Amino acid sequence: MPLMKKSLSPVEGGSWKRTLLILSVCQFIAMSGMSALVPFLPLFIRELGITDTNQTAVWSGLVFAGPFITSFLVQPLWGTLGDRSGRKLMAVRALFGLALAQLLIYFVPDVYWLMGIRLLQGTLSGFNVAAMSLITTIAPKEKQGYSISMLQSASNGGVVVGPVIGGLLSTIFGFRGVFLIVGIIIAILAFVIIFFVEESKNEKTMEREIRVRDNFKVLINNRILFGTAGLILLTSLGIAAVRPIFVLYVEF
């Protein structure tokens, strides 16, 4: 009987490849949906009553940054909960959180509600991290680098394709319509994870609880790691600083 259980293990049986494929597709679609909102976000803010160009630019930056601020604060808590309750649960929670936020934005009456819901989105989301954590508990150790790179490629692909899709959809369904469509699609992705992804409990990941401050200590004490993290931060800052106001620059 023990031998039969071992032979049916998701890791050794090869089902981790199916899980990786499903997670990659979900990652691509989710990131496409999130990126689809970026091109018209300043125009949507203007539609909500902020007509001054300078104020529109400021609010665009705030609304764009909102989810990342709250996500930065709460992701360690979700990670700890994922270690205790399961990474699949965290992936499903993140997708439902994203879907809920987009559906709520469909009904926002002004920019203040938009800002509040975007902050809520960052609090509830985090599918990228959850998906990577999930695949590392399922994939064989020698395939974890490959698995993470596949998920990252899917994420980057979604970021590239999403704005094109968002621009086309907004001309057909309007700005609010895109939020509604994205919310429904991401909710469907959550059900895909629920019914088609199996979680394998990897006991080695439970041997020692690694706290957030431990990670910061490693980052600060390792010069190479600290320098690499700094370069990534500056690169991301340069790219993100342009995205929320680019449409205003094109307009003028």
CB-based contact 170:97 (threshold 8 Å): no
pLDDT at 147: 92
Examine the pLDDT at 78 and tell me if it is beyond 90: no
pLDDT at 220 (0 to 100): 80
For the stretch 198-240, pLDDT in tens is 876 554 444 445 555 666 677 788 888 888 878 887 887 777 7
CA distance linking residue 102 with residue 183, whole number of Å: 5
* Structure confidence at residue 210 (pLDDT): 54
Q: What is the pLDDT of residue 212?
A: 58
CA 235 to chain centre: 18
Cα-based distances in Å from 103 to 106, 137, 165, 190, 252:
5, 32, 18, 15, 31
Q: Following CA atoms 172, 174, 176, 178 in sequence, which dihedral angle do they give, to the nearest 10 degrees? A: 30
Whether residue 192 contacts residue 198, with contact meaning beta carbons closer than 8 Å, is answered with no
Q: What's the half-sphere exposure (Cβ side, CA atoms, 13 Å) at 164?
A: 5
Query: Looking at per-residue confidence, does 124 or 79 come out higher?
Result: 124
Which residues are CB-contacts of 46 (< 8 A; sequence separation ≥ 6)?
56
**pLDDT score of 173:** 95
| CA-atom Rg of the chain in angstroms | 20
Q: Are 101 and 85 a contacting pair, CB within 8 Å?
A: no
| 33-48: average pLDDT | 92
For residues 124-144, give the mean pLDDT: 88
pLDDT band at 179 (very low <50, low <70, confident <90, very high): very high
DSSP secondary structure, 29-96, as one string: HHHHHHHHTTTTHHHHHHHTT--SHHHHHHHHHHHHHHHHHHHHHHHHHHHHHHHHH-HHHHHHHHHH
Per the model's pLDDT, the better-predicted residue between 78 and 111 turns out to be: 111
Gap between the Cα atoms of 110 and 156, Å rounded: 31
Contacts of residue 48, Cβ cutoff 8 Å, sequence gap at least 6? 108, 109, 110, 111, 114
Amino acid at 35: S
Domains of the chain: 13-251 (1.20.1250.20)
Query: With contact defined as beta carbons under 8 Å apart, do 84 and 34 qualify?
Result: no
Position with higher pLDDT, 79 vs 187: 187
User: What is the structure's pLDDT at 30?
Assistant: 95
* Res. 103 pLDDT band, cuts 50 70 90: very high
Q: Is there a contact between 170 and 45 (Cβ–Cβ < 8 Å)?
A: no
Q: Which residue is it, tokens 């959809």?
A: 169
Q: Copy the structure tokens of residue 90.
A: 């965290």
